[in-house]
Structure 1
Amino acid sequence: MRFLEKIFGKKIENENRSKPFYQNKNDIERLDWFKRTRPWHQVDERIISAFINKFSNHGDGEGMFEVFVVFSMKHGLVHNYCNLKHSEVIDSPELICSIISQQLYNIGTVSLKELLILIDDLARNKEKFKHHYSIVMDAFETAVILDDKQFSAYANLAIAKMLLNKFDESLQYAMKGLYVIREIKKLNIPFHLSKSDEIKNAKENIEEAEDKLSNLVLDLQNKLRD
């Protein structure tokens, strides 16, 4: 029996093999779906409940929730979510969602770098550009739902839209990023007291990001006036 479990995985009672995620009508059905659907059934329920809450309380959450589920499976992230059950922050939904958000952000950043290369010869790279653009949008859009302080994701969404000359949409993302930064600054978090060099330098990094986004906003506003 253990040998079979290693090959096929542990048996799931009333396993879901056919119901797609979008057919779930409410959070109770969604939780049940995760419990009965591979490979999500291996993710700790506290983690599942954390991101169910995030997407359910977001204006665009329902549609983006499906994007998150499909994206996570396509990019092999579910295994990472499973491993979070061993994390020391497992009982903190906000921190768990922040970690998942960062994983999504990292994937989006890789594809954004590809876009910046492909745009130089878009005529020959349309399909590749389309592929990476989809990854960028899905990764960063879901990242900001899971962590609304992810200002770098807003900045990168603004860049992606600007590459397509969608300056109005780019401006909206850039201004959202600026708003998030200014809200963080209001909290007066004592980053300098941290033992981590990365966190200790967070204030300077935030101020640098604010300057860059402010300049981007001005640039976009000028483009829209022309």
Structure 2
Amino acid sequence: MVARFRDRADGGRRLAAKLGHLGPLNPRVLALPRGGVPVGYEVACALGAPLDVFIVRKLGVPGHEELAMGAVASGGIRVLNLPLIEELRIPKELVERIAERETLEIARREVRYREGRPLVDMRDRPVILVDDGLATGATMFAAVSAVRAGGAQHIVVAVPISSPDTCTQMRQYADQVVCAMTPEPLYAVGLWYEDFTQTTDDEVCALLARSAETAETRSAAS
């Protein structure tokens, strides 16, 4: 019987144990909010790396929102599936309107979460994208595309739990994928945590602030 994670922090610690080889590379840890932040916090602590949120908003095809025609993300990054947009003859003005709406939502969340701190610089750096689990992986696929567009040097997707198929498929997009557990069948990510209580905005803000303080202390001591 595979032992479940106690909570997201436990999942983060157990995931971090599989990422130790990345510490010397001075990576950036980007967590997908909200559930990925407690996981990412533990990974960042273990690696002595800076932590930030990376907010991704899928651009759904009008009338078929589950189908992504692109994504927008933190840092003003935009990725569009131009062949799909052309095939479905989606007007450029409509794409722009949807992208602007989702960009505003990202800005709103960034103000809430970052409290004035800028997005960590990912250009020419290794980036570890963290979430609390992968089911279909749609959001993480979009995140990888966005981070690559942002100039990341090497992209690692890291999660405590994933379906085997999604973990395998993710390797087509990221440079490295680390899934601590890949049970079959997965059923649902939350089933593999004893406590899968929804992470709140306040908890996200507190963890980001604590990580920033740790980074400042580490910088002052070096």
Task: Provide TM-score, normalisation by structure 1.
Answer: 0.25
Which gives a bigger RCO, structure 1 or 2 (Cα 8 Å, sep 6+)?
2
In proportion to residue count, which structure has more strand? Answer: 2
Larger Rg: 1
